[in-house]
Each structure stands twice: as structure tokens, then as C-alpha cells.
Structure 1
Amino acid sequence: MHERHGMMDAMTRRERPVLVYDGDCGFCTTSVRFLERNVPVDAEVVAFQFADLAALGTTRERAEHEVLWVDRAGRVSGGAEAIGRLLTAAGGIWRVPGVVMRTPPVSWLAHAVYRLVADNRQRMPGGTAACMLPAAQRPGAQG
């Protein structure tokens, strides 16, 4: 995975998929860095605070709510579905858990676990009290 260089219009086919995460959340950032080191997927990685969300076909509200995966065709997936698509795109041994976690009934459990973790990310390793606040109310937020 590589940092963002430039976004293309959402209606244009992308050369690489894009992973969008909350760059103000310590837990989210730690999780993304783990993925970058351990999952061999060729994708752009960008904090939503620095992304052109409209060009990616999504909104700030959605990006604040969940991690997003924008595939090369411009399809936006969020939460556990996004992680499943990222793993599937990585191929190799990562493809199996990626497909499994997007298939019912495992997908239902994956969604529930994702929401539980996302809703409590301030309590997770690397999380801070700021993770609990809406992005606009975090220390240093520009409004």
C-alpha cells in the first residue's frame, strides 16, 4: 500500500483501489499501518481528512463512520465489507478470509464485530479519548 498521490474522478476507472481511514484516530492509524506492513495489496491509502471524498464517491459523514474501500471501478464499500474487499484484493492466502467474511452468515458476524470495535475504538490499543469525538470536535479540528 502506498500513500495518496492524486485522486481521479469517481466516474473514471482507477489504476489502484483506495483505502480511506480516520487519520485522527490512533487505533485506526495503527490498524492501517499494520495492514500496510502485512497485507500485500497495491492500494492508495489516505486519511479521510486529506481525501477528496466527493471525487471518491462518498461523504465525510460516511468516512467518519467507517473505513472505506473504493475499488478500481469506483464502488465504495464500508466497514467489515471494506476490510473483506481489501483482503480479497490482496490475493494469496488473504483472499480466503476476505471472501469468507463477506459471505453470510459470517458477514453478519463480521459487521457486528466491526461496529463493536469502531464504536469503542477509544478503548482499543492506540485509541485515545479524541477517537470517541466526532471529527469536527477533536482537538486541532478545523471547522
Structure 2
Amino acid sequence: MLLYDGDCGFCTSSVRFLERYVPHRAELSAYQFADLEALGTTAERAQSEVLWVDRTGRVSGGAEAVGRLLTDAGGPWRALGVVMRTVPVIWVVEAAYRAVSKNRHRLPGGTAACELPAARRPGAADRDRPN
């Protein structure tokens, strides 16, 4: 399972790209609608990076999470995912991931909500209200 920030336009656009162009078997879910405790992670971690939860329950974050999704997708994507998780390539990929994450509100598909603290994002009060 890949968990992403569903309040972030850039993140959502990136996931839509994956759905369209990367044939994958993984479930892609906004962390806001996932049972994070059952998945072995926290909202704090999910707010700061994309997360990959494998079949054994292992949680990977950031660039490694993207690499694991690609590896799981198989075919030519598997090779890309494996290569991007090897040293020294992972160092470059992690630096690029951090730069994109830090500036996602400025990128295509990004919105002002991408840079707000989670508690101040649009809809946060509705998610915290009991049904």
C-alpha cells in the first residue's frame, strides 16, 4: 500500500500519474482515510513523507517508498525501483525527494494546502469531527 497526502494537490496529481502510467498491484490511499495505527505508522510520519507498507507490515518512507512501489510494479519498473534504492543512487534520489517535498506547493498541481500544517488544511476540522 502507498500512503500519500490527499490534501496536497501535487501529491494527488503524482498518484494519478502512477495510476495512469505505472501498472501496479498496490493500493494507493490518502493517509487521511487509512487506519494508520493498524498499518504500523503515525499521522506525523504520513504528513511528512509518502509511505509504502509492504505485505509483511514493513513501512518505508520517502524516496525508498517510491522505489519499493516501482519494484513491486514489476516489469521495467522493477529494474528502475531496484536501481534507485541502491547506493549511491539512493542518495541522489533522496535529495531530489526532499527538494520536491519541501517545494511541492510550488510545483504543478501544488496548492497552498500543500504547505500548511495538517491541522490548518482545508477540511481538517471536518475529518476530526465525529460522524
Aligned to 2:76: 93
AA partner of residue 9 (structure 2): G
Aligned to 2:45: 62
Segments of structure 1 that go 5 or more residues without pairing to the other structure are 1-17
Looking at secondary structure, tell me which structure has more helix per residue: 2
Aligned to 1:131: 114
Q: Determine whether 1:113 maps to 2:73.
A: no
Give the TM-score of the pair, scaled to structure 1.
0.86
4+ residue runs over 2 A deviation: none
Question: SS at the partner of 2:38?
Answer: helix
Give the TM-score of the pair, scaled to structure 2.
0.93
**2: CA distance, partners of 1:38 / 1:115:** 23
**2: CA distance, partners of 1:140 / 1:44:** 23
Number of residue pairs the alignment of both structures matches: 126
Aligned to 2:58: 75
% same residue:
73
Segments of structure 2 that go 5 or more residues without pairing to the other structure are none
Higher relative CO (Cα under 8 Å, sequence separation at least 6) belongs to: 2
AA partner of residue 60 (structure 2): S
Measured on the aligned residues, the alpha-carbon RMSD in Å equals 0.8
Question: SS at the partner of 1:112?
Answer: helix
